[in-house]
Amino acid sequence: MAEVAYRRLEEAIVTLSLRPGAGMTEAQLIDLAGLGRTPVREALIRLAQHGLVEILPRKGIRVADINAIDIMAALDAREVLERLVAREAARRASPAERIAIMAAAAAMGQAAQAGDATAYMRLDKELDTAIGEAARSPYASRSVEPLQTLIRRAWYHFERRADLLPAAGHHVALAQAIAAADDAAAASASDALMEHLRRRLLATLAGAAATGQSI
């Protein structure tokens, strides 16, 4: 139940149903998750560890802001870990896992074609999880997971539908390399995806700064 609570609250934060900087009570989050106090409290501890919320004693819970410096620092760390995970997944995935990875990437492409950013986000999470499990590298997978969430949230905040199709293409290329058991191509596709995210986020941040928008 704690895992279910975490996934529901994480999605609400990533898709901005819970806005950056918003203050919430534990009771409100229990209602949102649709679960009891214990699993929600466990989920909140994990969300705080991943930098998505702040737990304020006697004041409630505050959804973390989206900070440009944090985003780029997270992307720097994620790039290194993603390359390792992608390479290991290409080497170690079972036939069934390769099929599941391709299916998740194809579904992302379909969501992108439909302009459904929320479905795309869920499938992106599904693909990340499938690749992480296939890599058989639990320390790297656990380390990269919160970074994936932070970047997914920033992407959803800044890009949304404008980048669905290009980003989906990079995910499909990564999935194809893993499915083909080509570890060098998987590492290159991972680097290309991270570079794409970096360029788009930097361009969006620069545009926001030029117009005086808060980040």
Q: Is 20 helix (H, G, I), strand (E, B) or coil?
A: coil
- Pairing between strand 60-63 and 23-24? antiparallel
Residues 158 and 87 in one domain: yes
Distances (CA, A) of 63 to 19, 24, 56: 7, 8, 11
In a domain, 169, yes or no: yes
Total count of domains within the chain: 2
Q: What is the pTM of this model?
A: 0.86
Q: How far apart (Å, rounded) are the C-alpha atoms in residues 208 and 71?
A: 15
In a domain, 97, yes or no: yes
Residues 55 and 88 in one domain: no
pLDDT digits (tens, 9 = 90+) for 6-48: 989 999 999 889 999 999 998 999 999 998 989 999 999 999 9
Compute the radius of gyration of the chain from its Cα atoms.
Answer: 17
Q: How far apart (Å, rounded) are the C-alpha atoms in residues 86 and 54?
A: 31
- Domain range spanning residue 11? 2-63
pLDDT digits (tens, 9 = 90+) for 77-129: 999 999 999 999 999 999 999 999 999 999 999 999 999 988 998 999 999 99
Q: Evaluate whether 137 touches 88 at the Cβ level (below 8 Å).
A: yes
Residues 58 and 72 in one domain: no
Domain CATH for 180: 1.20.120.530
Domain CATH for 50: 1.10.10.10
In a domain, 108, yes or no: yes
In a domain, 215, yes or no: no
